[in-house]
Structure 1
Amino acid sequence: MPYATGGDADLYYEVHGTGTPILLSAGMGGSGSFWRPQVEALSRTHQVILYDHAGTGRSGREIGPRSIAEMAGDMARVLDAAGVDDAHIAGHAIGGIIGMELALAAPERVRSLTIVNGWAQADAFIRRCFEVRTRILLTSGPQAYVRAQPLFLYPPRWIAENTQLLEAEEAHMVAHFPGIDTMVSRIETFLAFDGRARLSDIRVPTLLAAARDDALVPSYLSQELSDSIPGAKIAEVEWGAHAFTTVSPDVFNTLMLDFYAETDR
């Protein structure tokens, strides 16, 4: 298994396919396995790089609180380990925030930026959602936190129709939970993030992908990003909620491939 070394935490990563590189960065859970519904479609024409954030998954766990800048440095370190000078960067929610930071700090590494269900600053609605999730974690533990998670990520009907899949996913996530302190630290870091003053400095081609039925990060926050990032394009889907990359993978994969084809031309 390949690891990006040289920092304070070894970072697990995977490479699939060949072609123009795409690096995919997960959201709050931090695991590259979040992007499994994208790997087959994207790797037919691109080199797809997945990685686990520091403190999560198969990456090094013995770390303290981590800043957004450090997480962007981790992203660059994975590119280095994979032998990639620049890549299309796509991040889901907080993964998109990390991508924004890299686009500002090292734009030469970013061919394009895709932010999926992201935000420039957490508003009162997001804060209320994560307050509830944090209380569940602190008072009832990881099992209850993971059990509640689909309610924030998926549409009700999809949850009802995919019970067996979600039960298996729940068992896996509990077994590989990053730890309460790590998860609380990640939540606090991203709730504290405020990128509004720097959005106009992002100069790489940017796609903002959002689901109109997202009950965790409302799509109006993607519109606010679109209003502030020069030349940003916004693509909204009607159904799929916060994890529409899993619920409607064909729709999302087509959005990505069309954007990359246009950018690379």
Structure 2
Amino acid sequence: MPYASVNNIEIYYETHGTGPPVIFAHGSGGNHLSWWQQVPYFSRSYTCVLYDHRSFGKTNDEIPPLGRGAFADDLRGLLDHLDFKKVAIVAHSMGGRSGSMFALRNPERVSALVLSGSNGGSDNEEARKVREIHKSKPPYNPAGAVRALSPQFVKKEQEKSFLYRQIMRSNPPHESDFLEVPKHLIGRSTHQKFNKLSIPTLFITGEDDILVHPETIRIAAELIPHSEF
């Protein structure tokens, strides 16, 4: 099993296929296994890299005091380890913050950015009002994470629902507030920087998403010139 020594931790990753590199960054309810539907298709034409964020899957390490801000540094270290100069990034939910922060810090190394179910860490008063209205940001806990699966989906797709729950449960246990932004970083958002991104960016959302409301994603998408939503 391949690991990359990055920032004093061992990051687990896998590569599949050949071609231009595409990095897949998972959300807080998943890990590298989350991409089981995408990899068989995209690996026909691309080198697909799956990895586990620190404290997820097979990358066993605590989230540091800098919180999720360290995820972008970890991603850079992984790309350096793989000797990839430029990549496309496909990121879901929490992984969208990793991808967008990396792109803002290293725009020359990103050919395209796809954010699914994520506003990329963008936040402002308008987005906060939307979240409050729709109650779209419940606290994380091992049972609550499955709220990402709508009742309709669970009823219609019982096998997939079971699989997603099993993937989630394969992660190490986390504290209930492990995704909270550290106090010294509150107020620092990608929102004010998104208009500087010139990277082709695609935002994807589910119209009934109850965790990251589509309206908050639209607000973020409008900041990036020529992005698609």
Question: Same fold judged by TM-score > 0.5?
Answer: yes
The size of the alignment, in residue pairs, is 220
Q: 2:83 maps to which residue? A: 83
Instruction: Tell me, yes or no, if structure 1 residue 133 matches structure 2 residue 139.
Output: yes
Does the C-alpha gap of structure 1 residues 30 and 155 become closer, same or farther in structure 2, counting only changes over 3 Å?
A: closer
Q: Say which of 120, 145, 154 aligns to 2:149.
A: 154
Identity among equivalent positions (%) equals 26
RMSD (Å), alpha carbons = 2.4
How far is the alpha carbon of 1:2 from its aligned partner? Answer: 0.8
Residue type matched to 1:77 in 2?
G
Instruction: State the Cα deviation string for residues 31-79 of structure 1 (Å, max 9, x = none).
Output: 1111111000111111100000011110132453343432111111121
Q: Is the 8 A contact 2:25 2:91 kept in 1?
A: yes
Q: 1:224 maps to which residue? A: 219
Write the distance in 1 (CA, Å) between the matches of 2:68 and 2:145.
Answer: 23
Q: 1:102 maps to which residue? A: 102
State the TM-score, normalizing by the size of structure 2. Answer: 0.85
Q: 1:178 maps to which residue? A: 172
Q: Say which of 123, 126, 129 aligns to 2:128.
A: 123
Does the C-alpha gap of structure 1 residues 193 and 44 become closer, same or farther in structure 2, counting only changes over 3 Å?
A: farther
Q: Is the 8 A contact 2:17 2:43 kept in 1?
A: yes
5+ residue gaps, structure 2: none
How far is the alpha carbon of 1:92 from its aligned partner? Answer: 0.8
State the TM-score, normalizing by the size of structure 1. Answer: 0.74
5+ residue gaps, structure 1: 235-265
The secondary structure found in structure 1 opposite 2:210 is coil
Bigger helix share: 1
Tell me: higher relative CO, structure 1 or 2? Use CA pairs within 8 A at least 6 residues apart: 2
Does the C-alpha gap of structure 1 residues 65 and 32 become closer, same or farther in structure 2, counting only changes over 3 Å?
A: farther
Q: Is the 8 A contact 1:68 1:101 kept in 2?
A: no
Write the distance in 2 (CA, Å) between the matches of 1:191 and 1:41.
Answer: 39
Q: Is the 8 A contact 1:92 1:116 kept in 2?
A: yes
Q: 1:254 maps to which residue? A: none
How far is the alpha carbon of 1:191 from its aligned partner? Answer: 8.4
Q: 2:65 maps to which residue? A: 65
Write the distance in 2 (CA, Å) between the matches of 1:193 and 1:118.
Answer: 17
